[in-house]
Amino acid sequence: MTTFNETDGALESTAALEGGRPRRRGIWPYLAAMGPGLIAANAGNDAGGIATYASAGASYGYGMLWVMVVIFFFLGTVQEMFARLGTVTGKGFSDLVRENFSLRMTAFILLALFVANFGVIVTEFVGIGAAAELFGVSRYIAVPVAAVLLWVLITRGSYSRVEKIFLIMTLIFLCYVGAAFLGKPDWHVVLEETIRPQIQTDPGYLNLLIALIGTTITPYMQLYVQSTVVEKGVKLEDYRFTQVDVWSGTFFAVAISAFIIIATAATLFPIHKEVETAADAALALAPVAGPYAEYLFAIGLLGACLLAGAVLPLSTTYVMSEAAGFERGVSRSWSEAPIFLGMFTALLVLGAALALIPNLPVIPVLLGVQVLNGVLLPIELFAVLKLVNNRELMGSHVNGPIRNLMTYSVAIVVSVLSLILIVITVLGWLGVDVGG
């Protein structure tokens, strides 16, 4: 079977060998490999993700469901690419960028990733504060407590225990499935809108379209997958199990995202209720919990933010530590990896502090950061494409033409959409009517 080494975080195969190959039994190897892909994909359903999906359903009904079908294939392809890169090279993304790009390009890529990641770290604490306030608890109490809890969880626990907690917390997203069904949507219309792409030209639709891509194919998710695959020491002969993890995690995450859109489309779109606060988004859960909808939503929001609130600073710290060549790993002690653990601590403190700015508009901040993620996403995608197509690094495991086509497509499409959004925004500042 396969066991997890508590000391250094490596996956060690203890299977008996037959003919030089490990003997696998049933479904256990697939279950043992579960973790990085499932956690990373579902961490995207965080505060910003929930706000974005809820806004899409409330503002455009089922009209943006087709986007989630396209995103499923894009996200799975991108996640698998990063996992394969980590498995073949045994190195994290930053290590590879530093070794294969010029100093200026390395600094540019890492700066873009840091900006995107740090923005989302802040939104996780904004979401924690919003969830707490739905319970009647001040965010000035909840946010610092959450930051300390996450710090203790990462720095005082072993990676395997942290991973199990993350996996358990993802189950809380299932409440949105019930909300979607109890909202009694017209499933014929849902199916029709899912398989029939349609793009509107108004700025609001374009803004949400970029936000949907940015919150689902989030840079930190890919970095987390690659870093944890490397830390686990996944071998090429075991990589098929990691592929199952990546694609199953992607399916689960995108399905939950779609159900959030369906639930809000069924309940909020008919009454023209825009999502402006966390309480507005909670209305979509009324079919499940009635007057307790706000509390149920708060639980889901809190779970999502705590999940991503640990993954995000961790993946960001991996990136920066790799780039500088410092020791890294959640299983390291402070004496072994002071920079890694110190940076992780600093990101938590700064993220929590910025989330406590008075009168911070929750939903606009959450959506704005997801748009920023979408705008910065192509930088990461073009970088990883160069790495994963480098035969000196990957050997026979370079991308095939289909993977390249899909990844280049999403990078180019997002770049074009971002450029259009920037032009529309500038024209709006100049007083030019750009409404669709």
Q: What is the CATH number of the domain that holds 103?
A: 1.20.1740.10
pLDDT at 324: 75
Provide the pLDDT confidence category of residue 396 given band limits of 50, 70 and 90: very high
pLDDT in tens, 397-435: 999 898 899 889 888 988 888 887 777 767 766 766 655
Rounded to the nearest integer, the mean pLDDT of the chain is: 81
Q: Taking a C-beta distance cutoff of 8 angstroms, is the pair 366, 126 a contact?
A: yes
Q: pLDDT: is 174 or 363 the higher one?
A: 363
pLDDT in tens, 123-180: 999 999 999 999 999 999 999 999 998 888 777 765 556 666 666 666 766 777 888 8
Per mean pLDDT, which range of 2-6, 126-130, 240-244 is the poorest? 2-6
- Token pair listed for 92: 């994290």
Domain-embedded: residue 161: yes
Domain-embedded: residue 435: no
pLDDT in tens, 68-119: 999 999 889 998 999 999 999 998 888 899 899 998 999 899 889 888 889 9
Q: pLDDT: is 297 or 55 the higher one?
A: 55
Domain-embedded: residue 162: yes
pLDDT at 248: 85
Q: pLDDT: is 33 or 320 the higher one?
A: 320
Strand partners, 21: 18
Q: pLDDT: is 352 or 331 the higher one?
A: 352
pLDDT at 259: 92
Collapsed DSSP state (helix, strand, coil) of residue 306: helix
Q: Can you tell me the distance from the alpha carbon of 386 to that of 388, in angstroms, rounded to the nearest whole number? A: 6
Per mean pLDDT, which range of 69-83, 137-151, 219-233, 366-380 is the poorest? 219-233
Q: Can you tell me the distance from the alpha carbon of 56 to that of 257, in angstroms, rounded to the nearest whole number? A: 11
> CA 173 → CA 38, 298, 369, distances in Å?
13, 12, 21
Provide the pLDDT confidence category of residue 33 given band limits of 50, 70 and 90: low
28-34 long-range Cβ contacts below 8 angstroms, 24+ apart? 28/1, 28/2, 29/1, 29/2, 29/238, 29/241, 30/241, 30/244, 30/245, 32/1, 32/2, 32/3, 32/4, 32/241, 33/2, 33/234, 33/238, 33/241, 33/242, 33/244, 33/245, 34/167, 34/245, 34/248
Domain of 294, in residue numbers:
2-11+35-429
Domain-embedded: residue 148: yes
Domain-embedded: residue 333: yes
Mean pLDDT of 310-335: 77
Domain-embedded: residue 22: no
pLDDT above 90 for 367: no
- Longest alpha-carbon distance in the chain: 73
- Residue 272, exposed/middle/buried by CB under 10 A (0-12, 13-18, 19+)? exposed
pLDDT at 22: 45
Distance, CA of 240 to chain centre: 22
Domain-embedded: residue 423: yes
pLDDT in tens, 170-218: 676 677 788 889 888 999 999 999 999 888 878 888 889 988 988 888 8
pLDDT at 418: 80
> How wide is the angle at C-alpha 104 spanned by C-alphas 102 and 107, nearest 5°?
105
Provide the pLDDT confidence category of residue 5 given band limits of 50, 70 and 90: very low
pLDDT above 50 for 121: yes
Domain-embedded: residue 227: yes
pLDDT at 387: 95
- Overall domain count for the chain: 1
**Spatial CB neighbours of 152, under 8 Å, sequence gap ≥ 6:** none
Q: Can you tell me the distance from the alpha carbon of 336 to that of 342, in angstroms, rounded to the nearest whole number? A: 12
Alpha helices in 61-158 (DSSP H): 65-89, 93-100, 103-134, 139-156
Mean pLDDT of 34-58: 74
Q: β-strands 17-18, 21-22: how paired?
A: antiparallel
